Amino acid sequence: MPSVPHPHGHAPAHDGVPSGGSHRTGNHSARSVEEHRTAVVELLAPLRAAGRTERVALRDALGRGLADEVTAPVSLPPFANSQMDGFAVNSAAMPDGGAELRVAAPVPAGAMPAPLEPGWAAPIMTGAMIPAGADAVVPVEKAVPDRFPDPETDSTVWLPSTASGTFVRSVGSDLAAGEQALATGTFLGPAQLGLLAGLGIDEVTVHKGLTVLLVTTGDEVVEPGQPLPAGKIYNSNGTLLESAMRQAGLTVVRTRIATDSPGELQALLASQASSVDLIVTTGGVSMGAYEVVRQVLEGQGADFVHVAMQPGGPQGIGTFEGVPFLGFPGNPVSCLVSFEMFLRPVLSELFGTPAHRTSVRARLAHGLTSPAHKHQVRRGSLHNDGTVRLEGGESSHLMHALAGSNALVHVPVGLSALVEGDEVEVWML
């Protein structure tokens, strides 16, 4: 069932409903976005317990969250090496006006060079080890002649004077052995895995992935690919949330659509709960009639609360047979906003994956209004001139507008109107 804007602080009392079911409403005040996020952290934190980590090869670590700090076993670079193709020299032995030096055997990358003798310069390739006795590199284009001589003949080269350390990458200048390479909880993307590989590390300890049971509810919902009877809508939520969860690194178990029959939902959850780490439902959590998720779970380990947020206000949270449970509202946009506000950032915080959303400041391309007592989350397109244009209105059924957005736009509690040019916080999707 979709999100229903709920009058702040004065909910109607217990009402009869047509099916004879009970229409319960809480007589509670709304909780803040931060309070609800904290509650989700507390719900999921036990899943971070010891034993829920695993060692994996680097190749299998892409997109995972690091469970232990990694200390550098070697320095980067592991040895002083040349930043240029040039001549390795002893800078202290070079007179101010430059010097004519004898050309030693060339030093390719990967080789152990002989020590540099006084009066000599060694041709050296980028990345090759600086010979003992040398402390600087003169780029080949500054030499006279400005090329490497034939190594089969004895040659000399004129080189200008240079300062110690010039064009030398010193040992550990990127990272010294023993220093922290990556902190616990780091998201392992290409750059982080590349760093680990560069340190010689070929496996790593990561948090185990979580499996989530995803249940779409509602008599009005039918799966895509089927005929659409009058009054029904296609199941957009299931695909939307499954995709968002898979992108975030979760393994998703989808069920068939649950009808508004409490007994059926109860049986469906009971048959699957023991094999998953988390249950997420969509629909059936608000103040209306036929709120099947609420009917099954309320008072049995789950609370149904109203978060001061638009859309996505009605939220369920708790456990079902000991398994953590989150109940999102039924409109597609409310579902995605619930996921982005409450589940995704908590996964990032607790398990290091997915990567945190990037938050930027942008200027509104046009004004907006917002309920002052709610945190409003709008959808928008961030443009590279630093402006953000809202896509669609406040309404939480606008999937086409969502599909044309690349950002969530935050209007915090306390603001009821913003004008063109006002700065807002934007999360990049």
Interacting residues with its own copies between 124 and 163 (CB under 8 A): 125-129, 139-141, 146-152
Ranges within 277-336 binding its own copies (CB under 8 A): 286-290, 330-332, 336
Considering the complex, state which of residue 53 and residue 126 has its C-beta at the smaller distance from its own copies: 126
Considering the complex, state which of residue 199 and residue 409 has its C-beta at the smaller distance from its own copies: 199
Between strands 359-364 and 423-428, the pairing is antiparallel
Query: Residues 11-14: contacts with CB within 8 Å, 24+ apart?
Result: 11/287, 12/287
Cβ partners under 8 Å of residue 352, min gap 6: 64, 65, 66, 67, 184, 185, 186, 187, 188, 206, 207
CA 411 to chain centre: 22
Binding residue (CB under 8 A) for its own copies from 28, 246, 256, 366? 246
Answer yes or no whether residue 71 interacts with its own copies by CB under 8 A: no
Binding residue (CB under 8 A) for its own copies from 236, 282, 295, 310? 236
Considering the complex, state which of residue 3 and residue 370 has its C-beta at the smaller distance from its own copies: 3
Considering the complex, state which of residue 154 and residue 400 has its C-beta at the smaller distance from its own copies: 400
**Minimum CB–partner distance for residue 86 and its own copies (Å):** 9
**Minimum CB–partner distance for residue 321 and its own copies (Å):** 28
**Minimum CB–partner distance for residue 104 and its own copies (Å):** 11
Structure tokens given for 157: 């080269």
CA distance 354 to 429: 12
Question: Helix or strand or coil: residue 34?
Answer: helix
Is the omega angle on the peptide bond into residue 227 within 30 degrees of 0, that is, cis? no
Answer yes or no whether residue 96 interacts with its own copies by CB under 8 A: no
Binding residue (CB under 8 A) for its own copies from 160, 189, 209, 301? 189
Considering the complex, state which of residue 98 and residue 106 has its C-beta at the smaller distance from its own copies: 106
Answer yes or no whether residue 116 interacts with its own copies by CB under 8 A: no
DSSP assignment letter at 211: E
The full DSSP string for 336-373 is HHHIIIIIHHHHHHHHS-SPPPPEEEEEESS-EE--TT
Answer yes or no whether residue 100 interacts with its own copies by CB under 8 A: no
Ranges within 268-287 binding its own copies (CB under 8 A): 286-287
Ranges within 358-417 binding its own copies (CB under 8 A): 358-362, 382, 384-386, 392, 395, 397-403, 405-406
Considering the complex, state which of residue 288 and residue 312 has its C-beta at the smaller distance from its own copies: 288
Considering the complex, state which of residue 164 and residue 300 has its C-beta at the smaller distance from its own copies: 164
Answer yes or no whether residue 60 interacts with its own copies by CB under 8 A: no
CA distance 298 to 261: 15
**Minimum CB–partner distance for residue 270 and its own copies (Å):** 24
**Minimum CB–partner distance for residue 12 and its own copies (Å):** 4
Listed ranges 34-42, 111-119, 305-313, 315-323: which one lies at the site for its own copies (CB under 8 A) = 111-119
Binding residue (CB under 8 A) for its own copies from 136, 137, 181, 411? 181
CA 67 to chain centre: 15
Binding residue (CB under 8 A) for its own copies from 39, 103, 175, 424? 175
Answer yes or no whether residue 421 interacts with its own copies by CB under 8 A: no
Considering the complex, state which of residue 5 and residue 301 has its C-beta at the smaller distance from its own copies: 5
CA distance 380 to 405: 5
Answer yes or no whether residue 50 interacts with its own copies by CB under 8 A: no
CA 364 to chain centre: 25
Structure tokens given for 228: 């659409």
b (16+ CB within 10 A) / e for 249-285: bbebeebebbbbbbeebbebbeebbeebbbbbbbbbb
Considering the complex, state which of residue 108 and residue 414 has its C-beta at the smaller distance from its own copies: 108
Cβ partners under 8 Å of residue 10, min gap 6: none
**Minimum CB–partner distance for residue 269 and its own copies (Å):** 21
CA 206 to chain centre: 15
Listed ranges 30-38, 195-203, 268-276, 317-325: which one lies at the site for its own copies (CB under 8 A) = 195-203
Dmax (CA) for the chain in angstroms is 103
CA distance 395 to 311: 8
Binding residue (CB under 8 A) for its own copies from 56, 233, 253, 365? 233
